[in-house]
Each structure stands twice: as structure tokens, then as C-alpha cells.
Amino acid sequence: MTNDTEQDLPKAIAGIMVTLPSLTLRTGWAYLKMKKRAQKMSKVIERKMVSEGMPEEMAGRLADEFASGISVHRWMREMNLPFGGGWNK
């Protein structure tokens, strides 16, 4: 039984190596699109808040906070993953 497992290991590793770059690229592309949309929406939100009478400085800070919410580092920190200890600081 160990012999079958040992023979399957290279196939499994090869499968992962073939799949990982594609998965990484698709995930990265989706993240970049989401980040860009958040930046556009933060500008819309800021303009709307200012037009409703909020001071420009405060509206700018709130809009920036909205846009910065799309952050991989922040997500990793909030998930409290064991290997993310360096990001918790």
C-alpha cells in the first residue's frame, strides 16, 4: 500500500504545480478588479457626502477608509491565521 501512495505523490505534486499558477493569476486579477472598483466607489461616496453637506476633509477620510478596506493584509490579520503572526503587529 505504501508503494501506491509513493507513486501517487509525484502525480499529486505535478497536478498542484500545474493548477497553482492559473489559480493565483485568476485570484490576483479578481482582487485587482475589486480594489479598482473600491477606489472608484470611494470617489463617488466622497462626492455624495460633500454634496449632502459633510465637510470635505471628513468625507475624504471616510472615503479613504472605505477604499483601504480592500486589503489582503487586513484580511489575513482579521482571520488570525497561525502563519500570519508577523502581520498582527
- In the prediction, which pLDDT does 28 show? 86
33-87 confidence digits (pLDDT tens): 988 998 999 999 999 999 999 999 999 999 998 888 887 777 777 777 666 555 4
Q: Cα(43)–Cα(64) distance, rounded to whole angstroms?
A: 9
User: C-alpha cell of 17?
Assistant: 504545480
pLDDT of the residue at 1:
47
What is the model's pTM? Answer: 0.58
Give the pLDDT confidence score for residue 76 in this predicted structure: 72
Closest CA to 61 of 41, 40, 42, 34: 42
* Contact partners, residue 43, CB within 8 Å, separation at least 6: 63
pLDDT reported for residue 60: 93
Residue type at 80 in one-letter notation: N
Is 49:62 a contact under the CB 8 Å cutoff? yes
